[in-house]
Amino acid sequence: MKVTVIGAGYVGLSTGLVLASLGNKVYFVDVDKEKLESLKEGKPPFYEPHVEDLLKRTLKEKRVIFTTDYSEAIPLSDVVFICVGTPLRVSGEADTRQVMSAVRDISKHLGGKTVSIVIKSTVPVGTAREVEKQINKDHYGNFIVLSNPEFLREGHAIEDTFKPDRIVIGANDKKAIEHLIKLYDPIIKQTFKRVISDRLDREIPVVVTTNESAELIKYAANAFLATKISFINEIANIAENVGADITDVAFGIGLDPRIGNLFLKAGLGWGGSCFPKDLKALHQMVGNSGYLPGLLKAVIKVNDEQRFRFLQKIVKVFGDGLRNKKIAVLGIAFKAGTDDLRNSPGVEIVKQLVSLGAKISIYDPLALENARKTLPESVGLCDSIEKAVEKTDAIIITTEAQEFKTMNLEKLGKLVREKIIFDGRNIISNPKGWDYWGVGR
Ligand code: UDX
């Protein structure tokens, strides 16, 4: 099939590259010329496993085209995916202006054949209807609007696109639903050629529902996962007060299949581009409808406070102040396996420590380049754990990077000035000889 993807970010690029590798022709439309130029040369705009490989391969096969021009893509396409950003407005609502602007541009180029317009961006409930109204107003052609939310995780984007837990399709047109299912057939049946990823030995469930339910499924999924994390962080804070160990508590409750052991890791709380934005947008959306979302409010509050509780712990240990204390921060991305710094607890902690007069050196396996653009000039960036910890008064761990889990504390102990570790992700199991501070243990 011929497919257009509007927006070449994490979701758009992963979706489009996987569809291209399944044999489709994919037109990527984006407003960012610089980004398109580097994509044409096979260079992805962010770190994500397999993206560069797939990009180079599909470019070579001439299956992907990058353009700013809708007229080059829409008239040729049967399916158009909208994958643009929906950032937060100051009011806390999701900003759908990029979606609506893409829709206006799409509608200008709709012709005689019926086109499926598939919304993948995370949008407030009711957006698909708005999109339908907008195009009907312009009245340029035949189209069906489908909602098809995306659940991929950064750091696993390609893997998750080839092997999603489910595919959710919201629409009220049987033919358009069948058409989209046909496009996804090699993924649903796991019959794709093994390009990068092993296949699953089962089919992927497809949930067919209304546009509104599909839109809400995405928000509800993120809200539930964020709730699990805030819950375990709250229990971690209780564990600290009563002398329990949260790692054992989480293991003990996670064995109950009704609870499950995933997303029960206590630490600095959730960050990234999705949870913070989507939780706030859902909270605002529900509030606007006249219902007071007490649980969501508490989930956000626990998370907002979690990183500051950790910071307070650090401040308390250095009773005589942090001025001129040299501190190594290991991990600056919002989680391991990505170079994304959006809503990163590590960034916030570093900024606070700098304002308290501490001297910071940082190491992150992937995010140093982005760190330079975000952090104050005074923060030192190091290309190894060893360089970062040299002559420091404390080490702070903010992500679960494999390198941090396996670092040799005995060796590092000889490089530091003081043997103090603040472990924001509870990844150190044997801190013998170190003054150790975790979360909830
Ligand atoms: C998330 C959702 O998982 C994905 O389905 C959705 O499409 C986008 O948002 P992502 O933002 O890539 O994906 O990160 P994820 O791996 O889910 O982690 C989210 C945050 O929660 C991270 O900050 C992570 O460190 C934190 N986390 C996760 C915990 O603190 N504890 C856990 O047990 C799990």
pLDDT digits (tens, 9 = 90+) for 314-333: 999 998 899 999 999 999 99
Angle between helix 211-242 and 246-254 (nearest 10): 140
Closest CA to 422 of 320, 337, 342, 353: 353
Among the listed residues 1, 227, 5, 288, the one whose alpha carbon sits nearest the alpha carbon of residue 121: 5
Residue of 17, 19, 167, 274 marked active site: 274
- Per-residue model confidence (pLDDT) at position 128: 98
The position carrying tokens 């009704």 is 258
Catalytic status, residue 382: no
Cα–Cα distance measured from residue 173 to residue 142, given in angstroms and rounded to the nearest whole number:
13
What span, in angstroms and rounded, lies between the C-alpha atoms of 178 and 181? Answer: 5
pLDDT, one tens digit per residue, over 393-418 is 999 999 999 999 999 999 999 999 99
Contact by Cβ (8 Å): 16, 2: no
Residue-level pLDDT at 101:
96
The candidate with the shortest Cα–Cα distance to 144, out of 100, 122, 121, 175, is: 175
What whole-number distance in Å separates Cα of residue 99 and Cα of residue 89? Answer: 14
- Interstrand relation of 394-397 and 380-381 (parallel, antiparallel or unpaired): unpaired
Q: Is the dihedral of CA 313, 317, 323, 329 positive or negative?
A: negative
pLDDT at position 383: 97
* 60-98 core/surface letters (b: 16 or more CB in 10 A; e: else): eeebbbbbeebeebbbebbbbbbbbbbeeeeeebbbbeb
Helix 294-317 to helix 275-288 angle, to the nearest 10 degrees? Answer: 140
Q: Which of 414, 187, 426 is nearest to 310 (CA)?
A: 426
Q: Which residue has the CA at smallest separation from atom 31 of ligand 1?
A: 265
The token pair at 261 is: 């052991």
CA–centroid distance, residue 160 to ligand 1 (Å) = 13
The 8-class DSSP code of residue 76 comes to G
The pTM of this model reads: 0.96
Pairing type for strands 394-397 and 420-423 reads: parallel
CA of 341 to the centre of ligand 1 (A): 13
With a 6 Å cutoff on the Cβ, whether 341 touches ligand 1 is no
Enter the tokens of residue 102. Answer: 């893409």
SS3 358: coil
pLDDT, position 139: 73
What are the pLDDT digits (tens) for 41-97? 999 999 999 999 999 999 999 999 999 999 999 999 999 999 999 999 999 999 999
d(CA 166, CA 92): 29
- Separation between Cα atoms, residue 48 and residue 14, nearest integer Å: 9
Please tell me if the CB atom of residue 272 comes closer than 6 angstroms to any atom of ligand 1. Answer: yes
**What is the amino acid identity at position 192?**
F
Listing DSSP states for 116-144 in one string gives: EEEE-S---TTHHHHHHHHHHHHT-S-EE
Q: What is the pLDDT along the chain (441 residues), one digit of tens a residue?
A: 999 999 999 999 999 999 999 999 999 999 999 999 999 999 999 999 999 999 999 999 999 999 999 999 999 999 999 999 999 999 999 999 999 999 999 999 998 889 999 999 999 999 999 999 999 887 777 899 999 999 999 999 999 999 999 999 999 999 999 999 999 999 999 999 887 878 999 999 999 999 999 999 999 999 999 999 999 999 999 999 999 999 999 999 999 999 999 999 999 999 999 999 999 999 999 988 899 899 999 999 999 999 999 999 999 999 889 999 999 999 999 999 999 999 999 999 999 999 999 999 999 999 999 999 999 999 999 999 999 999 999 999 999 999 999 999 999 999 999 999 999 999 999 999 999 999 999
What atom in ligand 1 is closest to the CA of residue 262? 33
The two most distant CA atoms of the chain are separated, in Å, by: 74
Nearest residue (by CA) to ligand 1, atom 20, is 270
Residue 65 has phi, psi (to 5 degrees) of: -130, 135
Decide: 152 in ligand 1 pocket, CB within 6 A. yes
Residues in contact with 60: Cβ distance below 8 Å, sequence separation at least 6, in sequence order: none
